[in-house]
Structure 1
């Protein structure tokens, strides 16, 4: 394992992208993504 991976520890089991994709397959809305300020 790399030094960075050892420093950060185990990652979350699902990334926001994976959660959103699974929600889309079920027809649900995925997790909200931050929107850039348009001001």
Structure 2
């Protein structure tokens, strides 16, 4: 997936861990800011 995201120039959160993945998977709205290394659940 990391390769595909890079090919298309899409930001990706790779290797966030099992607990964080579960939180993100249930979220409806996220903030993803790769330069600042922010992955935040909004809703």
TM-score normalised over the length of structure 1: 0.30
TM-score normalised over the length of structure 2: 0.28
Higher strand share: 2
